[in-house]
Structures are given as structure tokens and as C-alpha cells.
Copies of this chain bind each other. A is one copy, B any other.
């Protein structure tokens, strides 16, 4: 069953149409796709492997729209018995995801901040607690929330380009990663590496990310998809039920911690992001980005 999160209001739409399974008597389509604005989803019915490809240029930032689509797409796949595993990757060159969208955190209402943060929580609860096998095929840089998506998968493969980096770099921006980002990080790389990396807000180039255990494997870009499929085949060789219970046993404590403190965590986010000083930092940061572009 799904993790105990509740979809944000925006996500509470009917999730499965009659097309979710081919009507009886018709030949099975080998592949089925649905696309929305920001994420392209393809499910290969023969293998049971879906691909969620982020296509929200310029940097796949995690806006409220993106997160909503992410949650709906993931829930659709989670409820589709034909689907047993998902590969996450990017359709935007050089970037996997740049993390939370700053636009959602600047000059908005308290209600908007609450809705946004609930959607961020929801994304993590659904992904870290997914019953499906989840593989991140990291084909570009992956800071902050982008890194969180990768960390929440069962396995991480990264393109061996040292120009691509990954990490929870919140401290560099003067903000603090939420405790559940931290918990996910510690579960992956251990306490000491996490302590140092989080305090320095480090973005680790791919080879360093491998060394610290932030990713499991590096491959040349042209081999990424093939490798992701091979890893997926290895994980799907296990009986689903035993694998799912084992995954839950490993991740439950950390998932439960957010569930128990969810509203408190939203209030923390709101009071933090509403601060004069933080709003000022964000404005300056956005102006810097604008100048960079032009």
C-alpha cells in the first residue's frame, strides 16, 4: 500500500481512467505513454518498467506544478499492476533537476507556502516509500531537491562527467536542509560524510559522489539507459512482496518521523521563508541568476 502521506489538494484528482489496462480481447500494447506538461511517462508493459523523464526547461526546477504532476504520475504507476519499477531521468541536457523552484518561495501568501511545502513533503513520502523499484539515472547536475529525488531512489547511476555535480547545497544559499532531507542523506552516506557535506553545502562532482557513496555507479552518458535497465532487471528478479517489506523495514523509521511532524514542518517552513532577511536573500539570488542569463 502507498505511504501514509495525503496528496495536496491540487493532486486530489481521479487517478486511473478506464485506459489504465487494455480492454480484454485486444492485444497488449508493448508500450503505453502519457505526457503532461512537465514530465513524460512511458511504461513498457512487457518489462513492467516505466520511465519518468523530466522535461521542464530550463532546469527542471521543482515548482508546485511539477511536484503535483510528479505525485500524480507516481501514484498512477504505483496503482498500475503492470508497473513494477520506475527509472527517473531528465530530458533537459546537463541538468537532472535544479531542486525547489525559488519562484514558489518568493513574495507569495502563507497559504501558497503551505501548499507548496506540503507538495514537497508528498513527493518525498511517495518516492522514498514507493513499493516499486526506483532507479535514478542522473544525467546532469542535481543540487538540493534534485539530489533528494536521487537519494530517495533504490539505486543511483550517474553520468561519469566531472562537470555534473550532486549534493544538498542548501547551506551555500543560507538555508538549512529539512530534517528529512538530512535523514535520507545519512541513510545513504552515513553520519560523518553527511555532517561535513551538509555543513559545507557541498556539490560533489560525479567521481567524488561515487567515492562518498552518494551515487552507486558511474557510466558514460551513452550507456546510461542500458545500465539503468540492467540494474532494474536485477532488482525485479526478486519477488515483489519480500522486497517491498524489506524496503519498508529499512525506511519506515525515517518516513514515520516526517509523518509525525508534518504540520510542524510546514509551519517551520512558512515562518522561515516569510522572514524579511530570507526574502531579501532570495530576491538577490534571483537577480544574480537573471544577470547571469543576460
Contact = CB atoms under 8 A, between A and B. Distances in A.
Interface of A: 154-155, 170-177, 179, 182, 186-192, 194-196, 198-201, 213, 216, 234-235, 238-239, 241-243, 245-247, 249-251
Top 3 closest pairs, chain A to chain B, by CB: A174-B239, A195-B250, A176-B245
A170 B249 contact: no
A210 to B, nearest CB: 13
B198 A250 contact: yes
23 contacts: A154-B199, A170-B242, A170-B246, A171-B239, A174-B242, A175-B242, A176-B242, A176-B246, A177-B246, A182-B250, A190-B190, A190-B191, A191-B250, A192-B213, A195-B247, A195-B250, A196-B216, A198-B249, A199-B243, A199-B246, A199-B247, A200-B234, A201-B238
A107 B175 CA distance: 52
Nearest to A191: B187
Nearest to A171: B242
Among the interface residues A170, A171, A201, which one has the most CB atoms of the partner chain B within 10 A? A171
B187 A249 contact: no
A278 to B, nearest CB: 10
Contacts of A200: 234-235, 238
Given A195-B250, A238-B201, A243 B171 contact: yes
Given A171-B239, A175-B242, A201-B242, 18 more contacts: A170-B242, A171-B242, A174-B239, A176-B246, A187-B191, A187-B192, A187-B195, A188-B191, A188-B192, A189-B192, A190-B190, A195-B247, A195-B251, A198-B246, A199-B243, A199-B246, A199-B247, A199-B250
Contacts of A186: 191
Contacts of A238: 171-172, 199-201
A71 to B, nearest CB: 23
Contact of A176 (B176, B234, B249): B249
Contacts of A177: 246
Nearest to A281: B239
Contacts of A239: 171, 174
A247 B199 CA distance: 6
A222 B154 CA distance: 40
Nearest to A170: B242
A33 to B, nearest CB: 28
A220 to B, nearest CB: 23
A245 to B, nearest CB: 4
Contacts of A234: 200
Given A199-B235, A238-B200, A194 B249 contact: no
